[in-house]
């Protein structure tokens, strides 16, 4: 069974800032993912690139060294996900990063998808018919 764990904007911001009030919750979840990876579980921690831009995560910045060590995969906004994201945005009115999250959710081949988010309502909205687990921070 494969699992994909996605981070939204606030989760990325919290991960990168030890002073953020939700930092410890996001780090705890990331550590669970990392421990499962060490046990050879098929699990991927990822962030859509538009979410990373919105959150201001520059992977070359030394202030993001901790987050970079977690081996969080970038999910690029390619032509296919841009088309799906545009449909989601037009249908729901969510932000571009949330629409990109929806496109990733809807196209992910993972058996289980978890979204770490501060906005569970928008994540349910962009997920469409996909079944997701939401971890609210």
Q: Which two tokens stand for residue 128?
A: 């469409």
- So what's the pLDDT on residue 63? 80
CATH number for the domain harbouring residue 119: 3.40.50.1010
**In angstroms, rounded to a whole number, what is the distance separating the alpha carbons of residues 46 and 73?**
4
Confidence of residue 2 (pLDDT cuts 50, 70, 90): confident
Which tens digits make up the pLDDT trace of 17-43?
A: 889 999 989 988 887 776 665 566 688
Q: Return the bridge partners of 3, or none.
A: 43, 112
Confidence of residue 114 (pLDDT cuts 50, 70, 90): very high
0.75 exceeded by the pTM? Answer: yes
Q: Which two tokens stand for residue 41?
A: 């579980």
Q: Which two tokens stand for residue 47?
A: 């962030």
- Which domain, by its residues, includes 70? 3-136
Question: Please, what is the Cα angle at 97 between 53 and 90, to 5 degrees?
Answer: 145
| Structural domain count of the chain | 1
């Amino acid at each position: 069974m494969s699992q994909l764990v996605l981070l939204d904007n606030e989760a990325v911001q919290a991960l990168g800032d030890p002073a953020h009030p939700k930092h410890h919750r996001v780090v705890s979840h990331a550590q669970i993912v990392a421990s499962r990876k060490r046990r050879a579980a098929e699990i991927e921690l990822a962030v859509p690139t538009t979410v990373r831009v919105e959150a201001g995560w520059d992977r070359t910045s030394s202030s993001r060294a901790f987050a970079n060590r977690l081996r969080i995969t970038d999910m690029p906004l390619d032509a296919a996900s841009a088309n799906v994201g545009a449909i989601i945005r037009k249908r729901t009115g969510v932000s571009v990063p949330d629409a990109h999250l929806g496109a990733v959710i809807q196209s992910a081949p993972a058996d289980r998808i978890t979204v770490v988010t501060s906005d569970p309502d928008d994540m349910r909205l962009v997920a469409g018919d996909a079944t997701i687990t939401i971890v609210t921070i």
